[in-house]
Amino acid sequence: MTGFALILHRDGAPVPNGVVERLAHSLVPEHRRSAGARAERLSGPGWELVCAPGTGRCSDGPIHLVLDGRLDNRQEVAQEIGGALGDTASPTTDAALLLAAYARWGEGCFEHLLGPCAAVILDAGRRRIVCGRDALGDRSLIYRLSAGRLLVATHEEVLLEHPEVSRDVDEGTVARFFALEAAAPGRTFFADLRELGPGTAMALAMEPSAGGIPRFWRHWELPAGDGGGPWRDRDAAERFRELLDAAVRARLPANGEAPAAVLMSGGLDSTAVAACAAAGSGGPLHTLSWVFDELPRADEREFMEPTVRALGAEPSWILGDDAWPLAGCLEHPERHLGVGSPYAAVYRRLRDRAYRQVAARGGQVLLTGECGDQLFVGAEGWLRDLLAGGRPVTAGLEVVRALAGAGRDDRIGLRTSVASVLRAPAPRRHDPRAACPWLTEEALERLGDGPPPAGGAASLDPSVRRPEQAAAVLDPRIAAAVRQESRRAADAGIEIRRPYRDRRLIELALAVPAHQLYRPGRTKWLTREALRGALPETVRRRRRRSSLFPLFRRGVEQYERPTVDALLDSPRAWWPRYVRSSWLRGFYPDRITAEADGAGALVLWQCLAFELWRRRVERSSDGLDRSVSHCSVAG
């Protein structure tokens, strides 16, 4: 697991060694400390930088840089820097390359970067701190700024170890969590901590006399307008395949490392990643797939097996019938949740089994097809785009196709698309009372608590072509899930890489017209056309949906029923403050058997995840005064 923390006393006072050791203790997981892992430490007058093993770190005279994450466009950045490197070789690490970029472009270096990364640059020569976060928010920077202190870290739980940081929760953020919304820009689940927004940088003078207010700026914005269209169908498909290939290549293991591994379901997104990886890896492809002998709705072997054969992959089949949620969570809540937020992976055991399989084969990198769905939000505008683009004949043929042989989903999609043509969409006014009938009056009051602080995410440009699609791509909840799962995998020695989080792919998906995202009966049209000939036709033309919901129901309704009841019925439970007990009891347990994967199941999981998170926070809080003498810190 990587990560870092910065403590800056702006008056130059030394940082107490006990505080540094507390933060170092939090940065290195217990099992790694037991194996001898040590945090690394850089010190100067009034400041301390502490880094977990494996965190990118580079210094050049008075400039010190720490980097959590990686750069996916190393070659392009090195070429842009060009002559700034002189006759020296290209920097060998991402941290060294970012430091060279800072030397070339100063505070503007972040706008040249692609990939999940968060960095802090301590420029002692210019007496300033510069912090930056990647465009999509796949790595985080948490901070606390007071009159004389700046604290920055990659994870909330690190700063919670500082004696000046309160563990009081942010009630507004908790209310938004139960409303199935992201936190307000810049807010966290702790009232004392703030988060630098995605695509945002911050600079602050090291001494209060030079200015006590940080300066924030956006180094990336979603492109507005039509992205240079119109796009012909063939051109759009070819460009999508080109960018997907590039995104996968940038994330494949380097030469000499273990062969590529892909977490592959039978869906279009992960099989497309596997096809690109097989073509670009130059070696055998290892696929990992969950299979279910007892839950046919969750099993996708009919699509995965032909893909494995077509790609010549080496598969690992992971049996998942017994990998239901919540197993063992009361005894070990930390196995399911971190301290930073209550967001939790529902199918924790499935994912952990995949990580162990990769590690057993000597691998360290796992590619996934996650986050491909967000690229195709807003596809219901396909009919409007065809008509606006002067293609009424094509529009008519597609309508006839939808009416002739399409299924129920296609007819629903057709009605929505026709409605978007016949009337201009009215501005949406979010009414939480109507949208979230499960919320209590206290939760509804808390939703608007407090103004958003500086440094949060910017609002969407009104000229963005499809605001719903842009909002889905930049959804902070997606980024939070990405960060949390990346940390979990890193704790197991695995790095997850997600090609669909490539900024170039996102910009293309926002640029093409909606009829290239969707056609009646052909969701994700662009991906299907781009992978023509690369995937078996049974997979490329697949329409049947599968679901892991039967596994969820098996856990909460059968095997983990006592655990669910213990969490919900606890006299110390907090969820009834935010969720109406009568509403939840009306769903669970009587209606869960007939429930599809809908709001009821999601709200139930939010309640369970929140109660587990509170137990984890309380356990870590109980240990605040623990001795850390066994935690060694390397200078």
- Judged against a pLDDT cut of 50, whether residue 64 lies above it is answered with yes
395 assigned to some structural domain = no
626 vs 478, more confident: 478
- Judged against a pLDDT cut of 90, whether residue 138 lies above it is answered with yes
Same domain for 350 and 255: yes
Segment 463-484 shows an average pLDDT of 87
- Judged against a pLDDT cut of 50, whether residue 635 lies above it is answered with no
- Judged against a pLDDT cut of 80, whether residue 530 lies above it is answered with yes
C-alpha dist (Å) from residue 596 to 477, 550, 558, 592, 593 = 22, 9, 17, 8, 8
Residues linked to residue 68 through DSSP beta bridges, in sequence order? 118
Number of Cβ within 10 Å of residue 329's Cβ equals 23
**CA 398/CA 377 separation, integer angstroms:** 19
Say what the pLDDT of residue 131 is: 98
Say what the pLDDT of residue 203 is: 96
C-alpha dist (Å) from residue 416 to 390, 422, 429 = 20, 10, 19
pLDDT band with cut points at 50, 70 and 90 for residue 86 = very low
Same domain for 576 and 483: no
Sign of CA dihedral 382, 386, 388, 389: positive
543 vs 500, more confident: 500
- Residue at which a domain ends, from 540, 568, 588: 540
Say what the pLDDT of residue 337 is: 52
- Judged against a pLDDT cut of 70, whether residue 573 lies above it is answered with yes
CB 271 within 8 A of CB 306: no
Looking at residue 70, which CATH number applies to its domain? 3.60.20.10
For residue 551, give the nearest of 351, 346, 368 by alpha carbon. 346
Say what the pLDDT of residue 334 is: 54
Same domain for 332 and 355: yes
Say what the pLDDT of residue 633 is: 37
Segment 173-183 shows an average pLDDT of 94
628 assigned to some structural domain = no
Segment 9-21 shows an average pLDDT of 93
Say what the pLDDT of residue 385 is: 74
User: Can you tell me which residue has the tokens 């129901």?
Assistant: 553
Q: At what angle do helices 348-360 and 476-491 cross, to 10 degrees?
A: 50
Same domain for 217 and 241: no
Mean pLDDT of the chain: 86
**CA 124/CA 62 separation, integer angstroms:** 5
C-alpha dist (Å) from residue 603 to 249, 311, 392, 566, 609 = 38, 40, 43, 17, 10
Tokens matching residue 183: 């936190």
Q: What are phi and psi of 286, to 5 degrees?
A: -105, 120
Q: What is the pLDDT of residues 312-363, one digit of tens each?
A: 999 999 999 999 999 877 665 555 456 889 998 899 999 999 999 999 988 8
Which range has highest mean pLDDT (32-46, 93-107, 332-346, 420-434)?
A: 93-107
Same domain for 583 and 534: no
Same domain for 264 and 194: no
- Judged against a pLDDT cut of 80, whether residue 135 lies above it is answered with yes
Say what the pLDDT of residue 6 is: 97
Looking at residue 520, which CATH number applies to its domain? 3.40.50.620
435 assigned to some structural domain = no
Say what the pLDDT of residue 228 is: 55
**CA 151/CA 165 separation, integer angstroms:** 10
**CA 236/CA 240 separation, integer angstroms:** 6
Same domain for 211 and 97: yes
Domain hosting 57: range is 4-221
Which range has highest mean pLDDT (109-113, 427-431, 471-475)?
A: 109-113
Give the end-to-end CA distance of the chain in Å, rounded to a whole number. Answer: 19
- Residue at which a domain ends, from 476, 509, 540: 540
90 vs 153, more confident: 153
- Judged against a pLDDT cut of 70, whether residue 553 lies above it is answered with yes
398 assigned to some structural domain = no
Which range has highest mean pLDDT (203-217, 384-398, 479-493)?
A: 479-493
- Residue at which a domain ends, from 221, 249, 281: 221
Q: How would you class 33 by CB atoms within 10 Å of its CB: exposed for 0-12, middle for 13-18, buried for 19 or more?
A: middle
Say what the pLDDT of residue 561 is: 92
- Judged against a pLDDT cut of 60, whether residue 406 lies above it is answered with no
Same domain for 96 and 24: yes
Tell me the chain's radius of gyration from C-alpha atoms: 25
- Judged against a pLDDT cut of 50, whether residue 137 lies above it is answered with yes
Same domain for 286 and 144: no
34 assigned to some structural domain = yes
Say what the pLDDT of residue 8 is: 96
Amino acid present at 546: S
Phi-psi region of 101 (alpha: psi -120 to 50; beta: other; left: phi over 0): alpha
430 assigned to some structural domain = no
Task: Tell me how many domains the chain contains.
Answer: 3
- Judged against a pLDDT cut of 50, whether residue 629 lies above it is answered with no
Say what the pLDDT of residue 23 is: 94
104 assigned to some structural domain = yes
Percent of the chain with pLDDT over 70: 85
9 assigned to some structural domain = yes
Segment 212-240 shows an average pLDDT of 81
- Judged against a pLDDT cut of 70, whether residue 462 lies above it is answered with no
Amino acid present at 316: S
Same domain for 217 and 114: yes
Say what the pLDDT of residue 442 is: 94
Q: What is the pLDDT of residues 264-319, one digit of tens each?
A: 999 999 999 999 999 987 778 999 999 999 999 999 999 999 999 999 999 999 99
Say what the pLDDT of residue 479 is: 93
- Predicted model pTM: 0.90
Q: What is the pLDDT of residues 592-621, one digit of tens each?
A: 776 666 788 999 999 999 999 998 888 776
Same domain for 346 and 238: yes
pLDDT band with cut points at 50, 70 and 90 for residue 625 = very low
Same domain for 108 and 35: yes
Say what the pLDDT of residue 84 is: 44
pLDDT band with cut points at 50, 70 and 90 for residue 31 = confident
CB 138 within 8 A of CB 128: no
